[in-house]
Copies of this chain bind each other. A is one copy, B any other.
């Protein structure tokens, strides 16, 4: 199957799983359930569950019984977007080409819908799985939680908020680079790595396979963020479906801003090679890890 068809088929599976497992919109009180479904069912590339599915398939797993658990990653990603978009944070009105959740439902429901998506994620992750050792599943839950806690995704988000106020602060270039690296690894990288590993762990990967998956994901996660920053300076809002050029306008700390776009592009190339090498180390019958890495690094939106 070509990558395009693979991605389309997996996205369909993911969208169906999300729609079928979120509480119906008329569940009492309907306001919160409409908001949750609005936030999550309005499109999106589904990168995290796709990576998890691809990892599980690469190690030979049947993903059907794992879909709900792997889709929990999309709930977490979406909750983080809903909260990031709030007026007190990035104050964004547009996301995935539509009005953001708090613009449609109000700020209070925006906050609570994010909370509810995060809570739902752990509810899905803890659902019993017939063919997975329960102790292994517990470790997987703890790993996902750690990836998105105050020392992970939320920590990256906070460091990013603080960095936005650095514009006029005298700081040496090395400290800035270290902080930028912290922000990238945490704000985006750790959940991407956790997604690949969740697919591997629940899919029954060996330790050697988990090691390759981790190296693959770490390289891809950093590349993903640098590509995001490059796109922000290169593409228009229409293509991105969100407000472009914001990073530069806000004097935000980004890799291209610090090192120049050429250096940033070269770094993406190096990271892609690392991801491909490690993706290839898993010799499963269905392995789209390399193709997905190439797609993410070469995307235009």
Which residues does A use to contact B, with CB under 8 Å? 23, 27-29, 31-33, 36, 79, 83, 86, 88-89, 106-116, 118-120, 122-123, 126-128, 133-135, 137-139, 141-142, 145-146, 148-151, 154-155, 157-159, 161-162, 182
CB of B83 within 8 A of CB of A150, answer: no
Task: For A107, list chain B residues within 8 Å (CB).
Answer: 88
Distance between Cα atoms of A109 and B128 in the complex (Å)? 35
Q: Residue A150 contacts which of B32, B86, B89, B138 (CB distance < 8 angstroms)?
A: B32
Distance between Cα atoms of A141 and B125 in the complex (Å)? 9
11 pairs of residues in contact across A and B, judged by CB atoms under 8 Å: A83-B112, A86-B111, A88-B106, A89-B108, A111-B111, A112-B157, A114-B115, A115-B154, A119-B149, A120-B145, A126-B141
Task: For A150, list chain B residues within 8 Å (CB).
Answer: 23, 27, 32-33, 36, 113, 116, 119-120
Task: For A108, list chain B residues within 8 Å (CB).
Answer: 88-89, 161
Instruction: Tell me the smallest distance from the CB of A15 to a CB of chain B, in Å.
Output: 20
Q: Residue A29 contacts which of B112, B126, B139, B155 (CB distance < 8 angstroms)?
A: B155
Known contacts A109-B158, A122-B122; A149/B116 CB under 8 A = yes
CB of A141 within 8 A of CB of B112, answer: no
Q: Residue A182 contacts which of B28, B111, B113, B151 (CB distance < 8 angstroms)?
A: B28
Task: For A83, list chain B residues within 8 Å (CB).
Answer: 111-112, 115
CB of B151 within 8 A of CB of A23, answer: yes
Instruction: Tell me the smallest distance from the CB of A175 to a CB of chain B, in Å.
Output: 12
Instruction: Tell me the smallest distance from the CB of A163 to a CB of chain B, in Å.
Output: 9
Distance between Cα atoms of A28 and B151 in the complex (Å)? 7
CB of B128 within 8 A of CB of A135, answer: yes
Identify 17 new A-B residue pairs, CB closer than 8 A, beyond the known A116-B149, A118-B119, A134-B138.
Answer: A28-B151, A29-B155, A31-B158, A32-B155, A83-B115, A88-B107, A88-B108, A88-B110, A119-B154, A120-B145, A122-B145, A123-B149, A126-B145, A128-B139, A133-B134, A137-B138, A138-B138
CB of A142 within 8 A of CB of B123, answer: yes
CB of B148 within 8 A of CB of A119, answer: yes
CB of A29 within 8 A of CB of B162, answer: yes
Distance between Cα atoms of A33 and B149 in the complex (Å)? 11
Task: For A113, list chain B residues within 8 Å (CB).
Answer: 150
Distance between Cα atoms of A257 and B196 in the complex (Å)? 53
Task: For A137, list chain B residues within 8 Å (CB).
Answer: 134, 138
Instruction: Tell me the smallest distance from the CB of A157 to a CB of chain B, in Å.
Output: 6
CB of B141 within 8 A of CB of A141, answer: yes
Instruction: Tell me the smallest distance from the CB of A185 to a CB of chain B, in Å.
Output: 12
Instruction: Tell me the smallest distance from the CB of A187 to a CB of chain B, in Å.
Output: 11
Distance between Cα atoms of A137 and B141 in the complex (Å)? 12
CB of A149 within 8 A of CB of B128, answer: no
